[in-house]
Structure 1
Amino acid sequence: MAEPLAAARGRFAPPRPSPLPGGAHPGAASERGGAAGSGAVASLLLLLLLLLLPPGAGGTPPRLCGSCPGPPRNGSVVAQFCASRADSELWGRCCVGRGSGRQHLLGLDLSSCSLRALPSAFSEAAAAVVLDLTENPLAALPDGSFLGFTQLQQLVVPLSVPCPGGSGAWEEVTTYGSGRLCQGQRNPCNGSEELVPLCPENAACAPDGPGFSQCLCAGPFHGYKCLRQGAFPVPLFCSVLGTVTAALSLALWGTQRRHAAGP
């Protein structure tokens, strides 16, 4: 009886995995699953990249360009300005650098758009050189509407609306028809000493729009009142932030795991 048992042990082998329906092998299925998982990860990364791209990247026109139907009206300061530059073109209600996108917006014509207030995306036109807001039932413009519009040199507003920053913020203010032309933005840092803002010792005054100025730290100073010297410690900041994030993630993971393992 010993010999048959020994022979039986010698012939024993572990069961072979049975093929999947259709004759496919489980290994092939896992390979296809891995490929599908890799494709899903790639798609997710592409979606995140598109979401992280700034609006207007890739030549997309700014939203303001289509906020009002039709092209700029004939004879507007925007149309004249765009026609005088060989490197610019009309794009909806905008004058943009030829072949460029949002970051190269040069002019914006929002005349006759029935505006009672400035559009919510008006700050997108901060790089504009010319702006036309005539033929609109606009009330007085809120303070700070043109904060950051440092390149603006020609602005036309309805007669009921004063030039932003007051007439002292412009080289010339004229009226014609139903519009008021504010031309030649002045640098508030070049005015009298009473008007120039008092900046810290290691900072200098810089224009920040019609009637606005700001204090910018001179390198290598930074921080509150420009009292800190040297470059910002990016590696130290990132390492501390990464450590704190990892610790919080581990703590949350452990807490959730204990909850999941409980009754």
Structure 2
Amino acid sequence: MSPHDADCPSIPLPWAAALLLALSVERVLALPEICIYCPGSMRNLSEVALYCKQTPGLMVHARCCLNQKGTILGLDLQNCSLKDPGPDFPQAHTAVIIDLQANPLKDDLANNFHGFTQLQTLILPTDVNCPGGINAWNTVTFYRDNQTCQGQRDVCNSTGDIEICPENGSCVHDGPGLLQCICADGFHGYKCMRQGSFSMLMFFGILGSTTLSISILLWGTQRRKAKAS
């Protein structure tokens, strides 16, 4: 044994294997829940896998394509027997490409895509409409086993309705075919018609007094019932 070897004690093989296993398990547990929502890993030739391999700095983990910060840029949930995308689906709102083909999905998926403003490619079963309809996408292409919704349009820029939001509000894109009307500074309420800051003190004062009144009423009712019995 050389002096150099003596200064660097070796790690027994079983302990080294256990350490590597622990590190890999920790990495799996750190993944967003949507990445492991469906068992197994994505196919090597899937559109999401190809996008991930062709884009520098991205990595495939379980069903997700992640950047170095762990942000989801691709999600492959094809062939997962899904009737809906599931409660963890909003975790993928940063995705650029999502594959949901080969699932018995419900037809209307629009409300599942709130906040998915970065999405540019969505692959769906042929019997499921693109969220927001065909006008929410630049192209919709049908194939034998799936369809692709490509190039999400900004509803705020593509609509011809200049009164889509009230005068004191601005339109903010919120996903395929979705938008929000945000009130300008100094305005709030219905159609942003109320001017001035929203009074939190008044709101919580009314809420507190109402709660107190109901509590006193219930207490009095219970007390009368107790005396009567």
Q: TM-score, normalised by structure 1?
A: 0.61
Match of 1:71 in 2: 41
Give the conservation status (yes or no) of the 8 Å contact 1:169–1:211: yes
Match of 1:217 in 2: 183
Shift of the 249–203 alpha-carbon distance from structure 1 to 2, 3 Å rule, reads same
Shift of the 231–89 alpha-carbon distance from structure 1 to 2, 3 Å rule, reads farther
2:113 aligns to what SS in structure 1?
Answer: coil
Match of 1:61 in 2: 32
Distance 1:68 1:164 in 2: 22
Give the conservation status (yes or no) of the 8 Å contact 1:94–1:105: yes
Shift of the 248–154 alpha-carbon distance from structure 1 to 2, 3 Å rule, reads same
Shift of the 255–78 alpha-carbon distance from structure 1 to 2, 3 Å rule, reads same
Match of 2:96 in 1: 129
Distance 1:143 1:172 in 2: 17
Give 4+ residue runs of structure 1 displaced > 6 Å after superposition: none
Deviation at residue 206 of structure 1 after TM alignment:
2.1
Q: How many residues align?
A: 199
Distance 1:82 1:131 in 2: 12
Match of 2:148 in 1: 181
User: Which structure would you say has the larger RCO, counting Cα contacts within 8 Å and 6 or more residues apart?
Assistant: 2
Match of 1:245 in 2: 211
1:252 aligns to what SS in structure 2?
Answer: helix
Give the conservation status (yes or no) of the 8 Å contact 2:85–2:112: no
Answer yes or no: is 1:165 the counterpart of 2:135: no
Shift of the 85–177 alpha-carbon distance from structure 1 to 2, 3 Å rule, reads farther
Answer yes or no: is 1:92 the counterpart of 2:67: no
1:215 aligns to what SS in structure 2?
Answer: strand
1:253 aligns to what SS in structure 2?
Answer: helix
State which drifts further: 229-238 or 159-168.
159-168
Distance 2:208 2:94 in 1: 36
Distance 2:180 2:136 in 1: 15
1:128 aligns to what SS in structure 2?
Answer: coil
Distance 2:199 2:126 in 1: 51
Measured on the aligned residues, the alpha-carbon RMSD in Å equals 3.3
Give the conservation status (yes or no) of the 8 Å contact 1:95–1:107: yes
Match of 1:191 in 2: 158
Q: TM-score, normalised by structure 2?
A: 0.68
Identity %: 47
Match of 1:204 in 2: 170
| 1:229-244 matched pairs, under 5 angstroms | 229-244=195-210
- Structure 2: unaligned runs, 5 residues or longer: 1-28
